[in-house]
Chain A
Amino acid sequence: MVTFKINGQTVQGEEGQYIKQVADKYGVDIPTLCHHKALEPAGMCRICTVELFDGRRSRFVTACNYPIWDGMEVQTDSESVHEGRKLIVELLLARCPEVPLLQELAAKYGIDKPRFKAEDDTCILCGLCVRMCEKMGNSAIALTGRGVEMKVDTPFHLQTDVCLACGACASVCPTGHITLEKIREEITRKGNVQLIPSEYDMGLKGRKPVYVPYAQAVPNTPAIDRDVCVHFKTGGCKVCVEFCGVDAIDHTMEDEVVELEVGSIILAPGFQPFDPSKFDAYNYANHPNVITSMEMERLLSASGPTGGHLVRLSDHKEPKKVAWFQCVGSRDLNRCDNSYCSSVCCMYAIKEAVIAKEHAGDDLDCAIFYMDMRTHGKDFERFYNNAQDKGVRFLRSRVHTIDPVKDSDEVSVRYVDDAGNLQQEQFDMIVLSIGLETSPEVVEMAKRLDIELTPGNFCKTDTFEPVATSKPGIYVCGAFQGPKDIPQSVVDASAAASAAGEILAGARNTATRKPEVVPQTNVIGERPRVGVFVCRCGINIAGVVDVPSVAEYAATLPYVEFAADNLYSCSQDTQDNMSQIIKQKKLNRVVVAACTPKTHEPLFQETLLKAGLNKYLFEMANIRNHDSWVHKNNPELATKKAKDLVRMAVTKVALAQPLEETELQVNPTALVIGGGIAGMTAARSLAQQGYETHIVERGEQLGGQAHNLYKTISGDLVADKLGALIGDVSSHPKIQVHLNTQLSAVDGFVGNFKSTLSNNGNQQEIEHGVAVVATGGAALQTDEYGCGQDPRIMTSLELDKMMMADDPALARAKSAVFIQCVGSREPQRPYCSRVCCTHSIDNALELKKRNPEMNVYILYRDIRTYGEREYIYKEAREKGVIFIRYNLAQKPEVALVDGKVQITVTDHVLGIPLQIDADLLTLATAVIPNKDDALANFFKVPLNDDGFFVEKHAKLGPSEFATDGVFLCGLAHYPKPIDEAIVQGRAAASRAVTLLARETVHTSGQVAQVDPMMCSSCGVCVSICPYSAPSFIDADARMHAGKAQVNPVLCKGCGLCVASCRSGAIHLKGFDNNQIFAQISAVNWD
C-alpha cells in the first residue's frame, strides 16, 4: 500500500498504480482526453498534467501514467496546473478549432480565441484509436509520420484488409475525427461497415455485441454475441472485462449440451414473419418508405427507435398518407407458397392505423387495402367499426405494384375501386401486412421429431385433440399449431400444459424441494431498530448519487441503528452479509435504498425471512430507477433526492408491523357448469389429473350444441367423436355427472366454495375449490329471410340435421343458397360469429359432393376462413361454388313466389340485382350466448354487452376470471369452432390445476382490515370493492353483527374501501394512514 497526498488529503493506492487511478477512486477530478480505463496510459494529450512536490522541488507530470510512490504530494488544481492546462487547450484548439469538445474546454478555461495560427484539423493525435485497435488484437492503424507530419493512418495510406470494421476506434475517438464513413471510405476494404442491426427493433436501430435483447427480457442479463464480438475474431479486446465490477464475464465459456429426462415435450417454436423482399413489384428491398408491419410496430412503439414518433424512413419527416397492404405472404399461391390466411394481419393493421392516427394526429390519412376484412376475434368487429368511424379508409383491392415516384420520396399505387374504376394514389409510406410462416429450422425440427405437418407447414393436429402432435407425448401450442393471435396462443399454451399434465399427473410434486423455514423473531413492542443498506449498484447509482454521504445521512435518522453502502446489494454474498448484520445488530426493520421494489422487493424480503424477520418489516427507496438514472446531469440534486427518499422509507418502515399471511386449504374438487364439449373437456382433464369433478348440465344429456353438428372440416363425423367424449366423462370414476341440474346458490371463495345444486326441486350442496363456467351458446332463431315460413328455408344447424338424416330433399335440390351474417355484424349484435363462414363453405362442399350438378351460392359480406380453413374456401371456388358479396345497406331479399323461394341480391361486380331460385336456403345465423345473469351474480363475474362472459384479461387471461378460482371456456366466452372450444376447455382445466395443485393458498399480508368498533355498517365498502372482499357479518352473529368484514383471501390490497370508508374504520395493512402520513411529512424535513 502506497500512502501519499492529493490536494492535501492523505490517500492510499496499490503499488504500481498511477496518480489518476487513485484520484478517480477518491473522486478527485483530473481532466483527460487520451485516457481509457481499459488501455495502458500514454500521456499523449497532456491535459491531465498535475504538480508534483517530491519534498525538495515541484515539477509537472502527467497523472495518467506517473506511478505513485510513498510520501509524494500532488496538486491537481493549483494556479500553475491551471495555467499549464490552459495553454495545452489553447494549442489543441488552434489545431482543431471546429471540435465541440475543445470549444467547451476552451470556454471552461476562459480562452476566447487562440493566439496561435488556426488550422483545420480534427485529430488531436491522442492515439486512443491506435491503442484501442491494438487492444482489439489488430493494429490496422498507427501514428505515422514525424513532427508536424504525424497523423493516424494505415500503412502507406492504403485501404486495408486487416481492419475488421469493428468501429472500436470511432467509439473512443474524443473529437469525432474517426467516423464510420471514414472507416468505410479510407481505412477498411471490407464492405460491411454498419451498425449491428438490433433484432428487437427490426434493424431500424443498432445494438452492441454485448447486449440485452430488449428492456423486459428474461433473464435480464446481457449476452455476448459471438458472431460479432471482436474477441472471438482476434483474441484481443476483452474491454468489457475491465468494466465489469463483479468479474462476471468469462470469454472461455462454451456451449453445453444438457441432457434431460422428461415425460412429455411441448413445442412452442412460434413463427417467422414473412420476408417480402422477394416481391420485386413491392420494392420493399429498394424503397425506404415501403416497410413491413413489424417495422411499423417498432416505429409506433414508445420504446422503439423513434420513441413512438411516426416518421417515414427516407427523410424522417412525418408522413401525411400511409397505406397498409393486406395478405402479403398470405392467401397467395402466385408469388409465394402460402395459401393459408395468417389470421392476425387484418386486426393488427387496423390497430396500427388507429395508433398511427393517435400518434400523428387525426389528419393522418390511413388506408387499408384488403381482400376480406377478417375481424373474427372477441370485440374485434367493434374495433373495426370504430376505426371506420375514426376515418380509417378501407379499400377492397389487392394492389399489384408499388411504383417509386420520380424526384420524390413518395410511392404511387394503382388499384381498382369497388365500382370497378381504376384509381391512382400517392402515399408517403406503405406498410406491408406480412403473414406468419413456419421457419425452415422448425420444419427441420419437426422432421427430426418425426411429427407430421400440414400443407402450410404447421403442426398437424386433430379437431378433437388440437394440441396433440402425431407423436404421443409431444404437444404443440401457439403459431406452430396454426397462425393465430395472442389470446388463442395463450389458450393453446394452457391446453398443452394440461395435456402434458394428464399423462404426468402421477409424477406431480415428486421432484419438489422445500426451503428451510427460519422461525420468526417477535418484534412487536420493541423499539424500532432500523438498518439502512444503500446500494451503489456498481456505478449505476454511485456514478451520480454520492452513496457514502447518503449512508452517513441515513445513520443520523431516528431509530436507525445501522447504515452502510454495498457495491451490489442483490449479489448473493451481500445478501448473506445483510442477513448476518440483521442478526448481529438485532435489527427489526430494514430499508434497502437501491432499485425498484417491483423487481427486487421479493429478493430482499427473502433475506429478511432468512434472518428471522417478518417480510413486511421492509421498505425500499428507489434511488436508481427514480433517481440516479433519470437525473444523471444533476448529481447534487440527485443526492438530495436520494436522501429524501431514504428518509421517507425510514419513517415509513419505523411504523411497519409484522403482517401475517393466512394459509388456507384448497378443496381439491372442481365444479364444471355446462356439459357441452368445452365443459366435458375441462372435466375430463381435471379428472385425469386426479381431481374429483362435478359436472352440472341443465339439459337431459351431455354434449350440448355438438349434437347438432354433422362433421368437422377434416371430415370426421362429430357424433362419433362426441359419443367417445361423453363415454369418457360418464364412465370416469372421478367425475360425477349431474343432469337436469342447475345451480341455485353459491357461497364461499377461492379454494372453499359451497354450491347448491337443484334437480327437480331436490337440493344438494357440494363443496369445491374451483369452478369452471362453460355455459355455452346457441344458434340465433330468426324470422328474417322468411325463416320458418317454408321448409326449404332453414338455419345452418337444421341443414346439418338434414345431412345427418340423409334427407331425400338434399338429393332432389338443384340449387342451394347460403346467406351469411344473419344476425351477426349488425348494429344490435356487433360481433362476428366466427364459425359460420367455414361451416357454410364446408356444407356447400358437402352438397357439391353429394350432387356435383347442384348450383350452390354463398351470399357473404367478408369470407372469414381464417388460418388453414382458407383451403376449403379455395376448394369451394375451384369446385364451382359461386360467391356473391352483398353489403349491409343492400341485404339480399327473400320472397316466396309461385311456390318458389326467390332470392334477390345485388351483385357487387355488375351492380345489378340478380335473382336466384333456391331449393335450399340456409341462413348462417349468429351464435348467441346462453346469457346467465344469475350465474354471473353467484360468482361475481361480469358479462359484456353481448352477453358473453368477460375474462380476466383479453390477451393474457382468456380462460379465467378476475375472481380467483373461477375459470371460463367455450361459447360462454365467445363463438368458436369445436377445436377451439376443446382447447379452451383444457386451458380452463389447466389454469384451475395451477391452483388445485398448490393445495393451499396464501393471502397477502397487505390487505384491508375493518375495525368493527368504528364501523357504521354503511355498506360503501361492500358495494365499492371490485373483488367482493368486504361483506356484512351475519345479523345473528355473536360478535359485531351487521358490521363489515374484509375477507383477506379475496382482498387484493387496492385500498379503495379504505379511502372510501367514511368512518375511518378500515385500515390497509402495510399502507396504513399513519405510514403514508409519515412519508408525506418526511418529504419536507430539511
Chain B
Amino acid sequence: MSEWEPKIVSFLCNWCSYGAADLAGVSRMQYAPNIRVVRIPCTGRMSPKFALAALREGADAVWVSG
C-alpha cells in the first residue's frame, strides 16, 4: 500500500447520523474515505463490547454518532 489509510468503524444511528451521511451524499459533499458504517437502530443499541470488538479486530478507531 502506498500510504497507510486508517479504517474507522462507525456506528451510526439510523435516524440521525445515518440520515446525515445520506444527505451528505445527496449534496455531493466530499470527505475522507476511511469510515466503514455499521447501521444501528439507535445509539441506545451501542454497547461498549462493539467498540472493543472493533479495535480488537484491527480497526484503527471507533466512532459512535447519534
Mark out the residues of chain A between 624 and 652 whose CB falls within 8 Å of any chain B CB in the assembled complex.
624-627, 629-634, 637-638, 640-641, 644-645, 648
Q: Given A215-B23, A1054-B41: A648 and B47 within 8 A (CB)?
A: no
Q: How far is the CA of A19 from the CA of B26 in the complex (A)?
A: 34
Report whether A631 and B36 are in contact in the complex, using a CB–CB cutoff of 8 Å: no
A383 in the interface (beta carbon within 8 A): no
Report whether B38 and A648 are in contact in the complex, using a CB–CB cutoff of 8 Å: yes
Report whether A622 and B37 are in contact in the complex, using a CB–CB cutoff of 8 Å: yes
Q: How far is the CB of B54 from chain A (nearest CB, A)?
A: 5
Which residue in A630, A641, A1073, A1083 is a CB contact (below 8 Å) of B57? A1083
Q: Given A630-B31, A1059-B46, A1076-B50: A1083 and B22 within 8 A (CB)?
A: no
Q: How far is the CA of A1058 from the CA of B29 in the complex (A)?
A: 35
Report whether A598 and B57 are in contact in the complex, using a CB–CB cutoff of 8 Å: no
A674 in the interface (beta carbon within 8 A): no
Q: Which residue of the partner chain B has the closest CB to A1068?
A: B45
Complex contacts, A598 vs chain B, CB 8 Å: 14, 18-19, 22
Q: How far is the CB of B42 from chain A (nearest CB, A)?
A: 4
Chain A interface residue count, CB cutoff 8 Å, equals 42
Q: Which label, helix, strand, loop or mixed, suits the secondary structure of the A interface?
A: helix
Complex contacts, B47 vs chain A, CB 8 Å: 1058-1059, 1073
Complex contacts, A1084 vs chain B, CB 8 Å: 7, 57-59
Q: How far is the CB of A1078 from chain B (nearest CB, A)?
A: 10
A704 in the interface (beta carbon within 8 A): no
Report whether A1081 and B25 are in contact in the complex, using a CB–CB cutoff of 8 Å: no
Q: Tell me the total A-B contact number using a CB cutoff of 8 A.
A: 111
Q: How far is the CB of A1048 from chain B (nearest CB, A)?
A: 14
Chain B interface residue count, CB cutoff 8 Å, equals 36
Report whether A625 and B22 are in contact in the complex, using a CB–CB cutoff of 8 Å: yes
A596 in the interface (beta carbon within 8 A): yes
Q: Which residue of the partner chain B has the closest CB to A1057?
A: B44
Residue-wise, chain A 287-307 has the 8 Å CB interface mask toward B (1 for contact) of 000000000000000010000
Report whether A1055 and B33 are in contact in the complex, using a CB–CB cutoff of 8 Å: no
Q: How far is the CA of A744 from the CA of B27 in the complex (A)?
A: 53
Report whether A630 and B41 are in contact in the complex, using a CB–CB cutoff of 8 Å: no
A158 in the interface (beta carbon within 8 A): no
A114 in the interface (beta carbon within 8 A): no
Report whether B45 and A632 are in contact in the complex, using a CB–CB cutoff of 8 Å: no
**Most central of A215, A596, A633 by chain B CB within 10 Å:** A596
Q: How far is the CB of B9 from chain A (nearest CB, A)?
A: 5
Q: How far is the CA of A633 from the CA of B5 in the complex (A)?
A: 16
Mark out the residues of chain B between 6 and 43 whose CB falls within 8 Å of any chain A CB in the assembled complex.
7, 9, 14, 18-19, 21-31, 33, 36-42
A938 in the interface (beta carbon within 8 A): no
Report whether B27 and A303 are in contact in the complex, using a CB–CB cutoff of 8 Å: yes
Q: Which residue of the partner chain B has the closest CB to A1055?
A: B45
Complex contacts, A597 vs chain B, CB 8 Å: 39
Report whether B22 and A1055 are in contact in the complex, using a CB–CB cutoff of 8 Å: no
Complex contacts, B19 vs chain A, CB 8 Å: 598
Mark out the residues of chain A between 111 and 139 whose CB falls within 8 Å of any chain B CB in the assembled complex.
none
Q: Given A638-B33, A1055-B45, A1056-B45: A1079 and B27 within 8 A (CB)?
A: no
A579 in the interface (beta carbon within 8 A): no
Q: How far is the CA of A624 from the CA of B37 in the complex (A)?
A: 13
Report whether A1076 and B40 are in contact in the complex, using a CB–CB cutoff of 8 Å: yes
Report whether B27 and A1083 are in contact in the complex, using a CB–CB cutoff of 8 Å: no
**27 A-B contact pairs sorted by A residue (CB < 8 Å):** A215-B23, A215-B27, A303-B27, A596-B25, A598-B19, A598-B22, A622-B22, A626-B22, A626-B37, A630-B24, A630-B25, A640-B33, A645-B37, A1053-B41, A1054-B44, A1055-B40, A1055-B42, A1055-B44, A1059-B47, A1071-B40, A1073-B49, A1079-B38, A1080-B54, A1080-B59, A1081-B53, A1083-B57, A1084-B59
Given contacts A629-B25, A1060-B44, 17 further A-B contacts (CB under 8 A): A625-B22, A625-B24, A627-B33, A630-B33, A637-B5, A641-B33, A645-B36, A645-B37, A1006-B41, A1054-B42, A1055-B40, A1056-B42, A1059-B46, A1071-B40, A1077-B50, A1083-B59, A1084-B59
